[in-house]
């Protein structure tokens, strides 16, 4: 792998150098330089701006794919590079050093849904959706949570009934991130009510433009409309869009959930701004960098970021070894929830009133987006309490929670 990796890295860097500019780290640009935007989700408050940004992201993804870096580890027959999936991770790492259009809209498809399709989808289903997921033509959302099924996802009630070659689906999903931008949804439904709840669930790929699908945006306190309610009213889904056997949906989604925890915990969904570097600059600017309490708290944030860096490395190594993602996803998620919250508290304390009223001063009011967004990091991808239950049972071997 050594030579192949070095040769791949050279080729990828040549492509990136020719097509994009290197990112300037916050610490290099300093206080007051460039944009002061800082948030936990790169979504927009303006729909036209959001659509234009998605087009730029898609155009970049297309170019990456055309140059052979979009799906290096994918099967040749589906347009992939037929090489080691490790090279995809290497490309992702290299690309993160460059200032390219936001690639997060595609991450649900490439990192969460594609692995489930590869492992459990029929060859026809893989051929129908996987190429589009990797070229960026298809944005994917996850239609899992329901008004009465979040932590207890297996309690979901959206129902699918077989009708010839189709299934007829009725129910409601909620908190569906980027459903308003998506062409495709990863849908979990109940296909059997007469078996224990985990065994009656089936996964489908849903075309979001199917008749009977209604997407209603939900606005968060950050001002963004990142997620949606999705109503399904007698929606017909071809049986060919079923992922795995009827009743196997729980097993199929588990791998997705563990990867999602690790992805949320890695901070991969978040803006390119390094919050710790930004806080250090802020402390210097406000002449608080010598305050021992501020220094201690900055050191704790730096330590958290470093710990997560090592855990991400461990998670990537597990995935590359072809093993199922383990409990490190839950640890990462807990650590990132803590990081988001503590960075928010420190920013609010350093900035005082200037975070509440927009005085136009660089790097002050902008923190409002981070502060109002931080609570969601303790919920998305499974709440803190659920991560602790997972760790207690799977890692520490404590008795299972009564179900
Ligand atoms: C930013 C964001 C994006 C999201 N994106 C998506 C998406 O794209 N698709 C999707 O399907 N869902 C999405 N979700 C939904 C998310 O997965 C759920 O919100 C989450 O699983 C919690 O479910 P719930 O909101 O129903 O809370 P509940 O499950 O009702 O929990 C309420 C409270 O009870 C606690 N609790 C519940 N059960 C236990 C227990 N057994 N032990 C201890 N405490 C418990 C919880 O920790 C929580 O504090 C998103 C959520 C957020 C915040």
Residue pLDDT, tens place only, 115-126: 999 999 999 999
Atom of ligand 1 nearest to the CA of 385: 47
Q: Which long-range contacts (CB under 8 A, 24 or more apart) does 24-27 make?
A: 24/99, 25/274, 25/277, 26/273, 26/274, 26/277, 26/278, 26/281, 27/274, 27/277, 27/280, 27/281
Residue ranges of alpha helices (H) inside 230-366 are 249-266, 275-285, 292-320, 328-351
What is 113-179 written as a DSSP string? IHHHHHHHS-HHHHHHHHHHHHHTS--EEEE--BTTBSTTGGG---EEEEETTEEEEEEEEEEEETG
Query: With a 6 A CB cut-off, is 375 part of the ligand 1 pocket?
Result: no
Can you give the pLDDT at residue 29? 62
Query: With a 6 A CB cut-off, is 175 part of the ligand 1 pocket?
Result: yes
Can you give the pLDDT at residue 393? 93
Distance in angstroms (rounded) separating the CA atoms of residues 103 and 111: 12
Atom of ligand 1 nearest to the CA of 108: 8
Give residue 332's Cα distance to chain centre: 13
| Residue 383 CA to ligand 1 centre (angstroms) | 6
- Residue 51 CB-half CA count within 13 A: 3
Atom of ligand 1 nearest to the CA of 179: 8
Query: With a 6 A CB cut-off, is 151 part of the ligand 1 pocket?
Result: yes
Can you give the pLDDT at residue 265? 64
Burial letters for 197-231: b for 16+ Cβ neighbours within 10 Å, e otherwise?
beebbbbbbbbbeeeebebeeeeeebebbbbbbbb
Query: With a 6 A CB cut-off, is 167 part of the ligand 1 pocket?
Result: no
Give Rg (Cα) of the chain: 22
Which residue, judged by its Cα, is nearest atom 16 of ligand 1?
380
Can you give the pLDDT at residue 267? 62
Q: Among 157, 225, 379, which is best to mutate for testing ligand 1, by the most ligand atoms less than 8 A from CB? A: 379
Coil, helix or strand at residue 304:
helix
Residues 6+ apart with CB under 8 A from 342: 297, 300, 301, 304
Can you give the pLDDT at residue 153? 95
Q: Facing residues of 206 across strands?
A: 185
Q: Which domains does the chain have, with CATH numbers?
A: 42-139 (1.10.540.10), 141-247 (2.40.110.10), 251-395 (1.20.140.10)
| Residue 287 CA to ligand 1 centre (angstroms) | 40
Kindly give the pairing relationship between strand 140-143 and strand 184-190. Answer: parallel
| Residue 107 CA to ligand 1 centre (angstroms) | 20
Query: With a 6 A CB cut-off, is 233 part of the ligand 1 pocket?
Result: no
Query: With a 6 A CB cut-off, is 385 part of the ligand 1 pocket?
Result: yes
Taking 70 as the pLDDT cut, the residues of the chain under it are: 1, 25-29, 42-43, 255, 262, 264-272, 403
Which residue, judged by its Cα, is nearest atom 31 of ligand 1?
151
Can you give the pLDDT at residue 6? 92
Can you give the pLDDT at residue 57? 96
Q: For residue 157, which of 173, 141, 142 has the smallest C-alpha distance? A: 173
Q: How far apart are the first and last CA of the chain?
A: 46
Residues 140-178 pLDDT 10s: 999 999 999 999 999 999 999 999 999 999 999 999 999
| Residue 244 CA to ligand 1 centre (angstroms) | 25
Query: With a 6 A CB cut-off, is 250 part of the ligand 1 pocket?
Result: no
- Residue 20, token pair as written in the block: 């994009």
- Residue 204, token pair as written in the block: 């489908």
| Residue 386 CA to ligand 1 centre (angstroms) | 9
Query: With a 6 A CB cut-off, is 170 part of the ligand 1 pocket?
Result: no
- Residue 70, token pair as written in the block: 């979009």
- Residue 270, token pair as written in the block: 């978040």
Atom of ligand 1 nearest to the CA of 178: 8
| Residue 313 CA to ligand 1 centre (angstroms) | 27
Total count of residues recorded for the chain: 403
Burial letters for 112-148: b for 16+ Cβ neighbours within 10 Å, e otherwise?
bbbbbbeebbeeebbebbbbbbbbbbbbbbbbbbbee
Query: With a 6 A CB cut-off, is 97 part of the ligand 1 pocket?
Result: no
Query: With a 6 A CB cut-off, is 386 part of the ligand 1 pocket?
Result: yes
Distance in angstroms (rounded) separating the CA atoms of residues 30 and 394: 44
Residues 370-395 pLDDT 10s: 999 999 999 998 999 999 999 999 89
Strand intervals (E) in 14-114: 21-22, 98-99
What residues act catalytically? 260
């Amino acid at each position: 792998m050594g030579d192949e990796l070095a040769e791949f890295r050279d080729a990828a860097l040549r492509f990136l150098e020719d097509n994009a500019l290197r990112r300037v780290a916050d610490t290099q640009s300093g206080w007051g330089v460039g944009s002061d935007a800082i948030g936990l989700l790169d979504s927009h408050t303006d729909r036209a701006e959001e659509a234009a940004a998605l087009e730029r992201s898609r155009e970049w993804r297309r170019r990456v794919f055309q140059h052979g870096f979009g799906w290096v580890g994918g099967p040749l027959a589906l347009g992939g590079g037929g090489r080691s999936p490790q090279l995809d991770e290497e490309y992702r790492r290299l690309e993160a050093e460059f200032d390219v259009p936001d690639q997060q809209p595609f991450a649900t498809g490439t990192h969460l849904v594609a692995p489930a399709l590869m492992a459990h989808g029929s060859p026809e289903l893989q051929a129908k959706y996987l190429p589009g997921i990797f070229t960026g033509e298809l944005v994917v959302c996850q239609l899992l949570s329901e008004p009465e099924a979040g932590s207890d996802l297996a309690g979901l009630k959206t129902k699918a009934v077989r009708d010839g070659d189709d299934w007829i689906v009725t129910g409601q999903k909620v908190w569906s991130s980027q459903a308003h931008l998506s062409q495709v949804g990863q849908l979990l439904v109940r296909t059997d009510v007469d078996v224990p709840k985990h065994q009656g669930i089936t996964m489908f790929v849903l075309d979001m433009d199917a008749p009977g699908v209604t997407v209603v945006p939900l606005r968060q306190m950050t001002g963004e409309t990142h997620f949606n309610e999705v109503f399904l009213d007698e929606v017909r889904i071809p049986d060919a869009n079923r992922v795995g056997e009827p009743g196997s949906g729980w097993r199929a989604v588990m791998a997705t959930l563990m990867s999602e925890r690790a992805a949320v915990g890695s901070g991969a969904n978040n803006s390119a701004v390094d919050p710790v570097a930004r806080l250090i600059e802020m402390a210097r600017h406000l002449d608080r960098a010598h305050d021992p309490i501020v220094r201690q708290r900055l050191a704790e944030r730096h330590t958290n970021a470093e710990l997560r860096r090592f855990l991400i490395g461990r998670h990537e190594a597990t995935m590359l070894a072809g093993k199922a993602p383990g409990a490190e996803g839950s640890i990462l998620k807990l650590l990132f929830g803590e990081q988001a919250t503590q960075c928010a508290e420190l920013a609010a304390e350093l900035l005082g009133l200037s975070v509440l009223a927009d005085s136009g001063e660089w790097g002050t009011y902008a923190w409002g987006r981070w502060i109002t967004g931080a609570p969601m990091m303790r919920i998305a991808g499974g709440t803190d309490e659920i991560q602790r239950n997972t760790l207690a049972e799977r890692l520490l071997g404590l008795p299972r929670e009564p179900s």
